[in-house]
Amino acid sequence: MILMALEEEYGVYKSVDNELSDVETVQELLNLAQAKIEQHQKENQA
């Protein structure tokens, strides 16, 4: 549900892959989500 909400709100798609499978805490999930959002925003500005 969290990944779907991020996609809907920010237009960021994050598949369930090795990067996400390494997440062990909520903070790690938030850090990963923030990095993906920032990356997506930079790509859209270019």
Question: Using one digit for the tens of pLDDT, what is the confidence trace for 9-46?
Answer: 877 776 667 777 888 888 988 898 888 889 888 988 87
Q: What region does 15 belong to: left with phi over 0, alpha with psi -120 to 50, or beta?
A: beta
Q: What pLDDT does 30 receive?
A: 87
DSSP secondary structure code for residue 17 in this structure? S
Residue 36 sits at φ, ψ, to 5 deg, of -65, -40
Q: What pLDDT does 21 receive?
A: 81
Q: What pLDDT does 19 receive?
A: 74
Q: What pLDDT does 9 receive?
A: 82
Can you tell me the distance from the alpha carbon of 3 to that of 23, in angstroms, rounded to the nearest whole number? 13
Residue 1 has pLDDT above 70, yes or no: no
The model carries a pTM of 0.65
Domain housing 36: 2-45
Question: How many structural domains are present in the chain?
Answer: 1
Can you tell me the distance from the alpha carbon of 31 to that of 46, in angstroms, rounded to the nearest whole number? 23
Q: What pLDDT does 15 receive?
A: 67
